[in-house]
Amino acid sequence: MGESNGSVDEDLLLKEFFAEVSEVERDNEVVRILSCFKLNPFEFLKLPFDSSSPEDIKKQYRKLSLMVHPDKCKHPQAKEAFGALAKAQQQLLDHQERDYILSQVTAAKEELRVKRKRQLKKDTASKLKSLVDEGKSELEYEQSEEFQQQLKLKVKELLTEQEWRRRKMAMRISEEEGRVKKDEEEQKEMWKRKREHEEQWEGTREQRVSSWRDFMKSGKKSKKGELRPPKLKTEDPNKSYVQRPVKRG
């Protein structure tokens, strides 16, 4: 009960505090939110990358959402900003989404560390200082504003690259699915035409049989004036003679 009351009291204090926030401050927050890099939910919630506990995420969301809530903020895009915050919270509370983004943060840190080591090799004094401090200078540097800005830019770069690859892969999959679907439709159309041809052929079977019978009958009885097929003369076994058709009158 104590924890529940504490949470309620905290919400009331937040609401009372933000009730006094000026309209200009609210508008500025809307502008900030809408200018954030869309693939980085940490940026929307103004959270450092190492603050990823569900409690930190929910608390920060409550705080910022009160700033831009459409009922309190008159900015025409307040609703859009409020929705962007809600989406950012949802992403960070999803452990798979959060772990993916943090994996990109780790990769970005590694790239910046490698880059810094290369720079230190060129600067003997900095290299000696780093060895003497046993890594303390590196830790201090990574906590500096300069490093945090570089990290933010590098994370943006990596997330953009990954999103571009994802979209290219999705496009290829879509194209392949479209090709397969087209092939299937062409195959179906081919089988359809074949069935229709077979049905048509079978439908004319009686007519063809009847025509053949008529032909056989007429072939046995030649009409007057009709030419007969040539006959072979076989008196001479070494030669073949063809009798020319003779018209009988």
pLDDT in tens, 11-23: 677 677 666 788 9
Q: Is the pLDDT of residue 195 over 90?
A: no
**CA neighbours within 13 Å on the CB side: how many for 88?**
30
Q: What is the pLDDT of residue 75?
A: 95
Q: What is the pLDDT of residue 125?
A: 60
Q: What is the mean pLDDT of residues 80-109?
A: 96
Residue 118 vs residues 8, 89, 114, 126, 152: alpha-carbon distances, Å:
52, 38, 6, 11, 20
Residue 70 vs residues 6, 24, 27, 57: alpha-carbon distances, Å:
26, 14, 11, 21
DSSP assignment string, the chain: -HHHHHHHHHHHHHHHHHHT--HHHHHHHHHHHHTS-TT-HHHHTT--TT---HHHHHHHHHHHHHHH-TTT---TTHHHHHHHHHHHHHHHHSHHHHHHHHHHHHHHHHHHHHHHHHHHHH-HHHHHHHHHTTTHHHHHHHTSHHHHHHHHHHHHHHHHHHHHHHHHHHHHHHHHHHHHHHHHHHHHHHHHHHHHHHHHHHHTHHHHHHHHHHHHHHHHSPPTTPPPPP-EE-SSTT--EEPPP----
13-47 core/surface letters (b: 16 or more CB in 10 A; e: else): ebeeebeeeeeeebbebbebbbebeebbbbbbbeb
Q: What is the pLDDT of residue 118?
A: 84
What residues contact residue 78 under an 8 Å CB cut-off, 6+ apart?
26, 30, 68, 69, 70
Out of 54-63, 212-221, 230-239, least confident range: 230-239
Q: Is the pLDDT of residue 209 over 90?
A: no
Mean per-residue pLDDT of the chain: 81
Assign 2 a pLDDT band (cuts: 50, 70, 90).
very low
Measured CA angle at 26 (ends 71, 23), to 5 deg: 85
168 vs 232, higher pLDDT: 168
User: pTM of this prediction?
Assistant: 0.60
Q: Is the pLDDT of residue 120 over 80?
A: no
Assign 204 a pLDDT band (cuts: 50, 70, 90).
confident
